[in-house]
Amino acid sequence: MEKKATIKKIDKTQLYFILKGIVVGLFTGIVVSLFRLAIEKLGILTQHFYELTQREPIYLILGAVVSIIVALLVGLLIKSDPDIKGSGIPQVEGQLQGELTISWFSVLWKKFVGGILSVGSGLFLGREGPSIQLGAVVGQGTSQLFHSVSSEQKILISSGASAGLAAAFNAPIAGLLFVLEEIHHSFSPLVWLTSFASAVTANFVSLYFFGLKPVLSLGELPSLPLKYYGSLIVLGIFLGVLGFVYQQVLLSLPRMYEKVPLPSYWHGLVPFLLILPIGYFWPTILGGGNQIIISLGHSSLPLMMIFGLFILRFVFSMVSYGASLPGGIFLPILTLGALLGSIYGTILVHTFGMDPIYIKDFIVIAMAGYFAAIGKAPLTAVILVTEMVGSLNHLMPLGLVALVAYIINDLLGGNPIYESLLERLLAHKHPPFLKGKTTFEFPITAESLLDGLMVRDFNWPQDMLLVSIIRGKNELLTHGDTIMQMGDILVILTDESHLSSVKKEIAKRSYHPALKQSF
């Protein structure tokens, strides 16, 4: 009988990473909470200014001058460090895949300042993507403080990203799931433990700043009767199609902005000037849109007004994000989803006589479905919306709509939006010059061809070494006759410069073509 050589795990390893995760979460919680607080304060001042212009239109001239100055300032920040563009989530994914190198302190302060000025000025951008990138660079900086090796640095970057989302939305479970489902696409014990510790810690800090009230508190949410569940399938189809439209329009924005006769870092002048008439006529709809979601949950609006608001926010959110300003699409997507849910619920009231109290349910459900279709991360969507509204009454309808929307978007050929944005980003960047060795973990899932295969029978890529296999609580030294099993986690050593290509090649060779996952 074959004897297995084992490496005895150090009992304190997990505790060691949990403690480091807590440190990252503490720093990230402080940074993101200050970021969030500054945006809220500036947003209030912005709204008051536009309300003043309604009484004294002459102040619009002052607003135009200030907008130009702010746009130029943000443009200079972008020119000095292009890695602060957009939400920052594609940059985090690229960094963890070894495709990008980030100067953590430069991104930290420039994203912080640029994000406050862009989001706080009323542009239709969200604070959540920047919060994730801020958390990631805090994790990177903390890893340098601890003199971490490359593999440990990636774990701390992941934990910082999780903490950033947790602090931005008061959603620690969603922060953890986002890292596993959207960024890593796999389950690693050390990643999830460290990320969970960071997310909980950052959320605690955020709660100290902003209190226990959920970010999108809509009051009491009635349970949706079973007789309306059939309409949820139609809603999922509706959201899947519109999510695909959103993806295609967003990815076409660079071609549209190429027509602007300005360098790319000055493209922010376009949304900063166009926001002036929007702010003058509708000062209460500025920003990411959380106030719109809350108002939809507490009051009913005419159908045409909701539809017009959806069109306005869809178009200008594209204008805002297309300028590559430091701001995200998380909250704008949720706002658009809430508007679609309100439209759908209102139609059901007028057409089928549904009780209007259930419109609020469709607002919540559509947020998750629309985000699941665009981000292709249904678990994150369900848990995120659940934590944001503070209600557990809708897990079943949330899951149903998210699943249907995901499937429809997949059938249409939609790809995860952040991966598509990363591919676009890498197409315009030179590969980083990386030195040194690093290890990464590769899980064997149910559909993998590695399940039941001997190590020597697989065609491994070049430039890598299979170091060990983590199986349960044991770590096995491998040899040619070692049989890999579902649930195993392969620990692989490679050069940092080959990290991304080795990962992709193993995934390509180990999955049956008919079962390959979208990532």
pLDDT tens digit string along 153-183?
889 999 999 999 999 989 999 999 988 888 8
Where along the chain do its domains lie? 12-210, 226-427, 437-510
| Least confident among 49-58, 73-82, 390-399, 420-429 | 420-429
Say how many C-beta atoms besides its own lie within 10 A of residue 504's C-beta: 13
Token match 């919306």: residue? 385
Rounded-to-5 percentages of helix, strand, coil across the chain: 65, 5, 25
Q: What is the pLDDT of residue 433?
A: 52
Domain 226-427 in this protein, CATH class: mainly alpha
How remote is the C-alpha of 438 from its chain's centroid? 26
Residue 321: C-alpha distances to residues 89, 243, 281 (Å): 13, 16, 21
Residue for token digits 């079962």? 515
Per-residue pLDDT of 281-339, as tens digits, reads 999 999 888 889 988 877 778 889 999 999 999 999 999 998 989 998 989 999 999 99
Residues above pLDDT 70, as percent of the chain: 95
Residue closest to 104 by CA, chosen among 131, 142, 48: 142
Give pLDDT tens digits for 50-79.
999 999 999 999 999 999 999 999 999 999
Assess contact for 107 and 83: CB atoms under 8 A: yes
Contact indicator for 156, 20 with CB cutoff of 8 Å: yes
- Residues 444, 447, 452, 457: is their CA dihedral positive or negative? negative
Let me know: does 330 contact 87? Beta carbons within 8 Å.
Answer: yes
Residue 516: predicted pLDDT = 46
**Residue located via tokens 């559509």:** 366
The pLDDT value given to residue 404:
95
In the chain, DSSP finds a helix count (H) and a strand count (E) of 19, 5
- In the CATH hierarchy, which top-level class contains the domain 437-510? alpha beta
Let me know if the fold of 12-210 is the same as that of 226-427: yes
Q: What confidence tens digit (pLDDT) does each residue in 448-494 have?
A: 888 888 888 888 888 888 888 888 777 888 888 888 888 788 888 88
- Rounded distance, CA 504 to CA 466, Å? 15
CATH number of 12-210: 1.10.3080.10
For residue range 19-40, list pLDDT tens digits in order: 999 999 999 999 999 999 999 9
Amino acid at 457: D
| Predicted confidence (pLDDT) at residue 517 exceeds the cutoff of 50 | no
- Beta bridge partners, 439, equal 493
Q: Is the pLDDT of residue 512 over 70?
A: no
List Cβ neighbours of 236 (8 Å cut-off, separation of 6 or more): 369, 400, 401, 402, 403, 404, 405, 407, 408
Instruction: Report CA Rg, the chain.
Output: 23
User: Are the CB atoms for 340 and 370 separated by under 8 Å?
Assistant: yes
Residue found by looking up tokens 């100067």 in the block: 103
Taking the C-alpha atoms of residue 311 and residue 315, their distance in angstroms, rounded to an integer, is: 6
pTM as predicted: 0.86
**Amino acid letter, 282:** W
Amino acid at 497: S
| In contact, 445 and 185? CB cutoff 8 Å | no
